[in-house]
């Protein structure tokens, strides 16, 4: 039997995507409504389980700061809200938490700055639409936080959806190898700024990221002790293990770190083992990070090159079960550290050379990466309406690239078309969901006493 030509196969895939519109019309995305009896406060408190008790109040305080802050920490609640709705059935390696603050700039191994997703704690195979819905809801919340009206928020959502569809259409036309090599540059955001002041703000983000190197972080987080460096004690945000009761024995601390380190090295490509061998472990500390991650076990490990004493900081972050897994089932990986790393490698344009995973004796899994490597992010509160729209569009382009690499870009573009049908539906969805988040946030602040300290 004759095999279809590549052109015929691509056409068939696009036709298959178009056919899905009859099953899940684009307009239906605007019909979302909260399920009866949902309890957002109970969902937050359930997600506190397994976190460090001493840091849970800090997590609640940060969540209470604004509806957007609350939204950042409730990816699981949103997944539960989206799960009952019809899906197209087109799966990608989903980020799982693709809100607007989980994009940023960082350095490639060639030291080029690119713009991409930068948080993969929840990543797994899942619906492409959940990522896009989380992004557009976050744009409305960010617009409201900045005092922008509905019309400006809606423009940001519409621009993001159209940008996603346009990027997917371009990628569907490109050879697979070109898609694999594609990158989104921060310069694309600069080009959206209509005024010199806007372009200067984006340039500042680029320059700030250039200065956020491992060496600059080491200067900020370490101090000289005798003839060596050690991590500073800045409770509760940075607490060296020497100040934590169960780790007061220095020899026990070194042994635990060595065991974790050895398992981590095995997860790296073999050629990078030699690179890690150049470094010795000096110190480690618990560090509070983000909003949704507060209370999880996150370590900063200080190493020094054996021959030059040049410091290197690695972050060892606890990998919990993905919030998507409750609705999609667990994936094929042996542990969640491996899930995060393999998911990140699958969809991030370029990954940290130190990215790997490990499992501790307790059974908890972790992933490891450099702590800062020309990493930077855009402070959404500083954006003008025009810059927010441009930023949302660039985020959507980066998201489309991740989905094109890991999913069927032909079927996706067949379903999306030019995005004209999907955009107004997702505008309605994003406004409705932002209203729900504001109500959930108010309920949380009223119900959780320690969150009131944020006001």
- Tokens 């991030």 belong to which residue? 348
pTM for the model stands at 0.91
Same domain flag for 279 and 296: yes
Q: How confident is the model at residue 330 (pLDDT cuts 50, 70, 90)?
A: very high
Listed range (186-190, 194-198, 311-315) with the worst mean pLDDT? 194-198
- Residue 453 · residue 63 · CB < 8 Å: no
Same domain flag for 249 and 315: yes
Q: How far is CA 318 from CA 32, 141, 380, in A?
A: 33, 28, 27
How many Cβ atoms sit within 10 Å of the Cβ of residue 280?
12
**245 Cβ partners below 8 Å, 6+ apart?**
none
Residue 419 gets the label, from left (phi > 0), alpha (psi -120 to 50) or beta, of left
Query: Residue 450 pLDDT > 80, yes or no?
Result: no
Query: Residue 183 pLDDT > 60, yes or no?
Result: yes
Q: How many residues does the chain have?
A: 455
Q: How far apart are CA 100 and CA 395, in angstroms?
A: 7
Of 370, 402, 426, the residue that ends a domain is 370
Same domain flag for 384 and 365: no
Same domain flag for 52 and 161: yes
**289 Cβ partners below 8 Å, 6+ apart?**
298, 315, 317
**In-domain check, residue 92:** no
How many Cβ atoms sit within 10 Å of the Cβ of residue 278?
14
Percent of the chain with pLDDT over 70: 86
Q: How far apart are CA 77 and CA 320, in angstroms?
A: 15
Q: How confident is the model at residue 2 (pLDDT cuts 50, 70, 90)?
A: very low
The tokens for 77 are 């609640």
- Residue 348 · residue 402 · CB < 8 Å: yes
Q: What is the mean pLDDT of the segment spanning 228-236? A: 90
pLDDT at 29: 97
The tokens for 433 are 């969901």
Query: Residue 3 pLDDT > 50, yes or no?
Result: no
Cross-strand partners of 204: none
Which among 430, 407, 419, 380 is positioned nearest to 164, based on CA atoms? 419
**In-domain check, residue 100:** no
Mean pLDDT of the chain: 88
Same domain flag for 141 and 121: yes
Of 316, 341, 370, the residue that ends a domain is 370
Same domain flag for 12 and 146: yes
Number of folded domains that form the chain? 2
Q: How confident is the model at residue 82 (pLDDT cuts 50, 70, 90)?
A: very high
> Which range of residues forms the domain containing residue 397?
6-85+107-211+378-454
Same domain flag for 326 and 400: no
Is residue 137 classed as helix, strand or coil in its secondary structure?
helix
Same domain flag for 256 and 365: yes
Same domain flag for 341 and 394: no
pLDDT at 189: 65
Query: Model confidence over 279-301: pLDDT tens digits?
Result: 988 889 989 888 889 988 888 99
**In-domain check, residue 98:** no
Same domain flag for 302 and 358: yes
The tokens for 186 are 């921060």
Q: How far is CA 299 from CA 163, 241, 363, in A?
A: 37, 9, 16
Q: How confident is the model at residue 104 (pLDDT cuts 50, 70, 90)?
A: confident
**In-domain check, residue 409:** yes
Query: Model confidence over 24-44: pLDDT tens digits?
Result: 999 999 999 999 999 999 999
Q: How confident is the model at residue 248 (pLDDT cuts 50, 70, 90)?
A: very low
Q: pLDDT higher for 263 or 336?
A: 336
Same domain flag for 336 and 205: no
pLDDT at 113: 77
Query: Model confidence over 41-70: pLDDT tens digits?
Result: 999 999 999 998 989 999 999 999 999 999
**In-domain check, residue 80:** yes
């Amino acid at each position: 039997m004759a095999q279809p030509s590549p052109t015929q196969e691509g056409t068939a895939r696009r036709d298959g995507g178009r056919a899905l519109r009859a099953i899940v019309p684009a307009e239906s995305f605007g019909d979302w409504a909260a399920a009866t009896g949902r309890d957002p406060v109970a969902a937050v408190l359930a997600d506190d389980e397994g976190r460090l008790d001493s840091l849970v109040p800090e997590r609640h305080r940060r969540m209470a700061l604004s509806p957007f802050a609350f939204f950042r920490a409730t990816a699981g609640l949103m997944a539960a809200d989206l799960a009952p709705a019809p899906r197209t059935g087109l799966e990608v390696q989903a980020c799982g938490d693709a809100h607007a603050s989980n994009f940023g700039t960082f350095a490639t191994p060639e030291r080029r700055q690119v713009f991409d997703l930068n948080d993969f704690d929840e990543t797994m195979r899942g619906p492409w639409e959940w990522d896009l819905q989380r992004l557009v809801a976050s744009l409305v919340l960010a617009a409201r936080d900045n005092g922008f009206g509905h019309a400006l928020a809606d423009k940001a959502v519409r621009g993001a959806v159209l940008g996603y569809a346009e990027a997917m259409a371009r990628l569907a036309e490109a050879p697979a190898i070109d898609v694999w090599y594609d990158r989104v540059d921060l310069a694309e955001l600069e080009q959206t700024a209509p005024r010199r002041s806007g372009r200067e703000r984006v340039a500042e983000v680029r320059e700030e990221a250039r200065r956020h190197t491992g060496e600059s972080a080491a200067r900020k987080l370490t101090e000289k002790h005798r003839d060596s460096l050690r991590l500073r004690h800045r409770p509760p945000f940075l607490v060296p293990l020497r100040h934590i009761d169960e780790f007061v024995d220095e020899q026990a601390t070194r042994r635990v770190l060595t065991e974790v380190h050895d398992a981590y090295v095995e997860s790296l490509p073999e050629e990078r083992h030699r690179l890690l061998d150049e470094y010795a472990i000096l110190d480690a500390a618990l560090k509070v990070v983000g909003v949704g991650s507060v209370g999880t076990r996150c370590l900063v490990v200080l190493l020094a090159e054996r021959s030059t004493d040049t410091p290197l900081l690695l972050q060892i972050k606890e990998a919990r079960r993905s919030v998507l897994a409750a609705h999609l089932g667990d994936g094929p990986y042996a542990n969640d550290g491996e899930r995060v790393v393999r998911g990140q490698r699958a969809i991030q344009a370029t990954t940290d050379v130190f990215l790997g995973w490990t499992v501790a004796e307790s059974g908890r899994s972790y992933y490891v990466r450099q702590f800062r490597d020309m990493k930077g992010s855009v402070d959404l509160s500083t954006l003008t309406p025009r810059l927010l729209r441009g930023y949302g569009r660039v985020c959507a382009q980066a998201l489309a690239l991740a989905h094109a690499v890991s999913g069927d870009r032909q079927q996706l573009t067949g379903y999306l078309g030019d995005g004209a049908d999907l955009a107004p539906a997702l505008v309605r969805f994003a406004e409705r969901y932002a209203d729900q988040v504001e109500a959930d946030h108010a309920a949380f602040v009223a119900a959780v006493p320690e969150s009131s300290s944020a006001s």
